[in-house]
Amino acid sequence: MATLKELEPQLLALSNEDKERVIQLLSRESFSLGRGIEKTPEVCGGSACIAGMRIAVWGLVEARRIGYSEADLLASYPGLSARDLVNAWAYTEAFSDEIEAEIMENEAVMDEAV
């Protein structure tokens, strides 16, 4: 069996579409919910974020809804990894009500600003 270190050059050479398919395949695997996700009151208003980053899970979900692919997200956030996205999607699935409420709250704030 190949190691990740051996596979890494091949994975990085994949097209964006193939990278997206790899991410989707990995997201079907069983990951413990919340791994790589943290909530800190002083960071992003306490929203669930990618661990060690100020990238809110609800923001990733919203970006995907408006048409960003996983490959686009990885390109837009250089520190973000495929595993981070897998963890974000798993968190979203487990806590969909929380994520939906945060998206709606953000939309309300944006509407007020306009």
Q: What is the average pLDDT across 77-98? A: 92
Alpha helices in 1-114 (DSSP H): 4-13, 16-27, 57-65, 70-76, 82-94, 96-113
> Number of helices (H) and strands (E), helices first, in the chain?
6, 2
- Taking alpha carbons only, the member of 15, 1, 19 closest to residue 70 is 19
Provide the terminal-to-terminal Cα distance of the chain, rounded to the nearest Å. Answer: 55
| Residue 11 lies inside a defined structural domain of this protein | no
| Residue 4 lies inside a defined structural domain of this protein | no
Does the pLDDT of residue 67 top 80, yes or no?
yes
Full residue range of the structural domain in which residue 78 is found: 18-113
User: Please, what is the average pLDDT of the chain?
Assistant: 87
| Residue 10 lies inside a defined structural domain of this protein | no
Per DSSP (E only), the strands in 1-75 are 37-39, 48-50
Please give the biggest Cα pair distance in the chain: 55
The CATH number of the domain where 69 resides is what?
1.10.10.10
Q: Is the pTM of this model over 0.85?
A: no
| Residue 1 lies inside a defined structural domain of this protein | no
pLDDT at 32: 45
Most confident among 1-10, 20-29, 87-96 (mean pLDDT): 87-96
* Greater model confidence, 41 or 92: 92
Q: Is residue 100 helix, strand or coil? A: helix
Does the pLDDT of residue 36 top 80, yes or no?
yes
Give the pLDDT band (50/70/90) at residue 1: confident
Do 73 and 67 contact (CB within 8 A), yes or no? Answer: no
Chain centroid offset of residue 103 CA: 14
How many separate domains does the chain show? 1
**How far apart, in whole angstroms, are the C-alpha atoms of residue 95 and residue 89?**
10
* Greater model confidence, 23 or 105: 105
